[in-house]
Amino acid sequence: MTRQPGWASCPNCQGLHFAGHDFKGACPAGGQHSQEGTFGYEIDFDVPAEENVQHGWASCPNCKGLHFAEFKGTCPAGGQHSTEGSFAYALRFNVPPLPGSQPEWNACPKCQSLFFGPFRGKCPADGETHSGENSFNYVVPHSSRLQFRLRGFRENQSTDDFLQGGDDEIFISATGLDSSSVRVGPDGKPVVNLITAQPVGDVSEDSVRGPWGANPHALIEFDLLQQGDFPRTYTTTLFVVEQDNGDLQQDFQELHQQVGGKMKAAVVGVAAGVGAGIGAAVGSAVPGIGTAVGGALGALAGAGYDGLISVIDEGLQDEIFTPIPITLTVDSPWRIRTQPDVDSLKAQKVREHDADYDIVYDWHVV
C-alpha cells in the first residue's frame, strides 16, 4: 500500500481532487478547483483486499477528481471521466473514523465523484447539487499534526574546560509558535498562543539520546487542522541549559516567561502592521501574517535575545544559551509533505560558553 499526499477538497463543488500539479482540474462550479480551507488529504493505492475497503477508484486527468471508475460518471471537463494514468486507489468505508481521518464523504450516483456529504457542492451531471443517495460513509485520511522532533545530540566540545569530553549535563526545552494561532482578542488586539515543551535531558546521556535514532523525540507538536490561511510559519525556539548545580525548573520557567514575552511582543508588532483586528471577529485568525511572523521570530535570534539572556543568566547558576528559533514555512496543507525541510535530517550548531554542540532534528508530518 502507498499513501499519496497532495489531495484537496474544493469549497465550490465539494469534490476531492488531486492538487499536486499546476493544473488543478475543471471544477463543476466553473474554472479550476479551489484549495481554499482544505486539509491535506492523502489517498491510498495498491491496497490489499480487506473488509471495508473498496477498490475501483481513479483520478481523472481532466477534472483531477477522485471518482468510482466502474461507472464512468460525468466529468466537469465534458464527457465522461477518464482513468488515464491513474493509480488504483482504494477507500475505506463504514469504519469508525480514527484520528487523522474524516468521515462523511459520499459517492455521487450521478457523476461518480467523491464529495463531502454534509455540504452538497455542485454536480457536473445536472448542474444541481451532488447526491449522497445509497452512498457508503467513506472515511478519508489527512495529515493532522506537524512535529518538531529531536533525532540526536552531539557534544563536540564541553563547557567544563577542565574536564574535556562530555561531562556537561545538558537539557533542552522549546516553545512553539504557529502563525495561525495568532487570533483577534476580545479587545480587538492580537492574542498569541505559545506551545510549551517538556524539558528533556540530560541529552548528552546515551540512555536519553540513544533511542532517538529509532524513536525520535517529538519536542513540539503543532495542530495542522487549525483554521486560518496559508502560508503559515511554524517556529520552534530551542532553549538549551547546561546545569551547574542550579535549579532547572527555574531556568526553564524564566526562559519560557521572558523569551515568550519577547516573542509575543514581536508577533503583536507584526499583527499591528497588517491591521489585525480591524473589523475582524473575536477569536478569528489574523490573515496574511504567516511569513511575517516567522521573519520576526527569526530576527530575534541574534541581538534580539542578547541583553535578555545575560539578565536571565545573571540570576541563575546554570549556563543559559541564547534561544535558537527554527522556522518551517508551509505554503499549503496539501504540499506539506513535499516541502524540502519536511522529513529531512538537519543539524543545528550550538556554539556558546565554550561549548560546541549539534542538535539533530527534523520536521515530521503525521
Binding site for Zn ion (CB under 5 A): 10, 12-13, 27, 33, 60, 62-63, 75, 81, 108, 110-111, 123, 130
- Nearest residue (CB) to Zn ion, 63 versus 267: 63
Q: Which residues contact 324 (CB under 8 A, 6 or more apart)?
A: 237, 238, 240, 301, 348, 350, 359
210: cell is 540513544
Q: Does the bond joining 61 to the residue before it have cis omega, within 30 degrees of 0?
A: no
Q: Which residues contact 245 (CB under 8 A, 6 or more apart)?
A: 317, 318
360 and 345 in contact (C-beta within 8 Å)?
A: yes
Closest separation between CB of residue 259 and Zn ion, Å? Answer: 44
Closest separation between CB of residue 3 and Zn ion, Å? Answer: 22
- Nearest residue (CB) to Zn ion, 7 versus 357: 7
Closest separation between CB of residue 111 and Zn ion, Å? Answer: 3
Closest separation between CB of residue 60 and Zn ion, Å? Answer: 3
- Nearest residue (CB) to Zn ion, 75 versus 271: 75
Closest separation between CB of residue 108 and Zn ion, Å? Answer: 3
Closest separation between CB of residue 113 and Zn ion, Å? Answer: 5
- Nearest residue (CB) to Zn ion, 9 versus 327: 9
- Nearest residue (CB) to Zn ion, 73 versus 290: 73
- Nearest residue (CB) to Zn ion, 31 versus 340: 31
Q: Which residues contact 227 (CB under 8 A, 6 or more apart)?
A: 37, 180, 284, 285
Cβ-based neighbour number of residue 190 at 10 Å: 22
Q: Which residues contact 229 (CB under 8 A, 6 or more apart)?
A: 180, 285, 287, 288, 290
| DSSP run (H or E) holding 351 | strand 346-352
Closest separation between CB of residue 208 and Zn ion, Å? Answer: 49
User: Which residue's entry shows cell 497532495?
Assistant: 6
Burial label for 57, CB within 10 Å (0-12, 13-18, 19+), is buried
- Nearest residue (CB) to Zn ion, 18 versus 153: 18
Q: Which residues contact 155 (CB under 8 A, 6 or more apart)?
A: 166, 168, 170, 204, 355, 356, 357
